[in-house]
A and B are shown apart, each in its own frame.
Chain A
């Protein structure tokens, strides 16, 4: 897969891992076009979260390329990727626990201080819970509230692509449903989203396209709703 100018993100044959010899991604490729929600599903250990971290620049790609908006960012770190419009919401430790909700939002807009106040007010309007809790320390929020805050923090730098790593992990079914609604609403506002999600069926149903990753390699890809109803996918990954 080569970089396509029509794509927002092109990941081409990326290998990456944590230790010197450990290789988790073994030539993974994917693309995200403007306006899409793209889900990555797969069994445990498939490298789904590692792929997001590699795109975000927290894990360095050893081979292959990552192109964002036509710019090759393969050798850049997380800071450079953030400046290229990548907003990443990690699965864990995704808020600054010892800081207030308001400070979390403010610091997440560090790149453009002139827009911080306006963007924070927009987010308070979109997520009234954050406005009610703006003085509370982030570590005192419930799991669902914390995920909303983490997602809002991901929006403070006005990203061109939002990466979500298992956003509903540890949430109650009701909170997970609300979060999915929030993700769809964000996408309808024009924001492309690439997510890894443990609730694979629900994620695929709201996704434009989906990728199935197995042992660090692409296994399947296709439209999200089609993958969600594919009998083999259901049997292998969804238990259905």
Chain B
């Protein structure tokens, strides 16, 4: 029983961290209607930007996360405007393939600048908190709290701000949005900034839990994609639900299968969902 409870707690922790980049992925899909796999490199860039701010410049974690968000958001917009935007007219598949190529380019730029070695943030070493036989790392708790705050801010932005509502409107019906005087191109830039920024923050949160290297984002790409598919592509609440479900499923699976098969859980989740409920758990176009 303790084993299962510990797995569920670990799954919630992992799921919450995955949820942040998954929200970014889903937001971009909802507005631009293509899966942007370059989100993996945005996560890596975010992780390295925060490492630079934290370990080299000596800034605390939260300002480092803010810097990662801004840098990744700007790089995401730059990449979108220079590389992906011109391909949009050729259909979602072409842009998705181009985003994989873009991912490789950005990942190798990170490798060229920072090298291949693993790097760690400058964090104090703390003992795990124990609840009976259950253990939770203090850093995990802090990351969990940060992820929850970031998600709450994103939800408030989408629900109550003018730009958030415009994003939802464009995601729901871009033609109608245009008729109402909303410029989908402008909304796309805001969405890519937020989506890439959130992916960058996700990379930092994942890195805080372990260490970072140029493959940090790539390693979680399948989980991010699976979470978005599980929750319903384009649904932001769905991305959170999908990430939590996937996190728990992955951790529970580790009780019975070796850790090397962890990623298989993501594949199986995508397969089951696409077979029985292609639109996902909360599958709708709008957020």
| A residues at B contact (CB < 8 Å) | 56-58, 77-79, 82-83, 87-88, 90, 93-99, 103, 106-111, 113, 153, 156-157
Does B175 lie within 8 Å of A96, measured CB to CB? Answer: no
Does B179 lie within 8 Å of A56, measured CB to CB? Answer: yes
Complex CA–CA separation, A57 to B107 (angstroms): 41
A-B contact pairs, 18 of them (CB 8 A): A78-B179, A79-B183, A82-B179, A82-B181, A88-B179, A93-B173, A93-B175, A95-B176, A96-B286, A98-B286, A99-B165, A103-B168, A107-B166, A107-B169, A107-B180, A109-B180, A110-B166, A156-B180
Cβ distance A101 to chain B, nearest Cβ, rounded Å = 13
Does B175 lie within 8 Å of A83, measured CB to CB? Answer: no
Complex CA–CA separation, A113 to B161 (angstroms): 12
Known: A96-B172, A98-B284. A107 touches B165 (CB 8 A): yes
Contacts of B172 in A (CB 8 A): 96-99
Known: A99-B169, A103-B165, A110-B166. A94 touches B176 (CB 8 A): yes
A-B interface, 8 closest residue pairs, ranked by CB to CB distance from nearest: A98-B286, A111-B181, A78-B178, A82-B181, A96-B172, A108-B180, A107-B169, A107-B165
Complex CA–CA separation, A145 to B243 (angstroms): 37
Complex CA–CA separation, A111 to B285 (angstroms): 24
Complex CA–CA separation, A172 to B214 (angstroms): 62
Closest residue to A150 on the B side, CB-wise?
B176
Complex CA–CA separation, A57 to B42 (angstroms): 36
Contacts of B177 in A (CB 8 A): 107
Contacts of B175 in A (CB 8 A): 58, 78, 90, 93
Cβ distance B135 to chain A, nearest Cβ, rounded Å = 41
Complex CA–CA separation, A83 to B168 (angstroms): 21
| B residues at A contact (CB < 8 Å) | 162, 165-166, 168-169, 172-173, 175-183, 284-287
Does B166 lie within 8 Å of A90, measured CB to CB? Answer: no
* Further 10 A-B residue pairs, CB within 8 A, beyond A83-B181, A106-B162: A56-B179, A58-B175, A79-B183, A96-B173, A98-B168, A107-B177, A109-B180, A111-B181, A157-B180, A157-B181
- Grouping DSSP codes into helix (H, G, I), strand (E, B) and loop, the B interface class, with mixed when no group exceeds half, is helix
Does A79 lie within 8 Å of B181, measured CB to CB? Answer: yes
Complex CA–CA separation, A99 to B286 (angstroms): 8
Complex CA–CA separation, A58 to B179 (angstroms): 8
Cβ distance B176 to chain A, nearest Cβ, rounded Å = 7
Select one of A79, A83, A90, A96 contacting B169, CB under 8 A.
A96
Does B183 lie within 8 Å of A93, measured CB to CB? Answer: no
Contacts of A88 in B (CB 8 A): 179
- Grouping DSSP codes into helix (H, G, I), strand (E, B) and loop, the A interface class, with mixed when no group exceeds half, is loop
Cβ distance A151 to chain B, nearest Cβ, rounded Å = 13
Select one of A87, A99, A113, A157 contacting B162, CB under 8 A.
A113
Contacts of B180 in A (CB 8 A): 82, 107-111, 153, 156-157
Complex CA–CA separation, A79 to B162 (angstroms): 17
Most central of A79, A83, A94, A95 by chain B CB within 10 Å: A79
Closest residue to B171 on the A side, CB-wise?
A98
Does B162 lie within 8 Å of A110, measured CB to CB? Answer: yes
Does A106 lie within 8 Å of B165, measured CB to CB? Answer: yes
Complex CA–CA separation, A94 to B177 (angstroms): 10
Contacts of B284 in A (CB 8 A): 98
Complex CA–CA separation, A152 to B76 (angstroms): 37
Complex CA–CA separation, A78 to B177 (angstroms): 10
Complex CA–CA separation, A178 to B285 (angstroms): 32
Contacts of A78 in B (CB 8 A): 175, 178-179
Contacts of A58 in B (CB 8 A): 175, 178-179
Contacts of B183 in A (CB 8 A): 79
Complex CA–CA separation, A110 to B177 (angstroms): 9
Complex CA–CA separation, A1 to B199 (angstroms): 56
Does A79 lie within 8 Å of B286, measured CB to CB? Answer: no
Complex CA–CA separation, A76 to B195 (angstroms): 30
Contacts of A82 in B (CB 8 A): 178-181
Most central of A56, A110, A153 by chain B CB within 10 Å: A110
Contacts of A56 in B (CB 8 A): 179
Cβ distance A10 to chain B, nearest Cβ, rounded Å = 21
Contacts of A109 in B (CB 8 A): 180
Cβ distance A107 to chain B, nearest Cβ, rounded Å = 5
Contacts of B165 in A (CB 8 A): 99, 103, 106-107
Does A93 lie within 8 Å of B176, measured CB to CB? Answer: yes
Contacts of B173 in A (CB 8 A): 93, 96
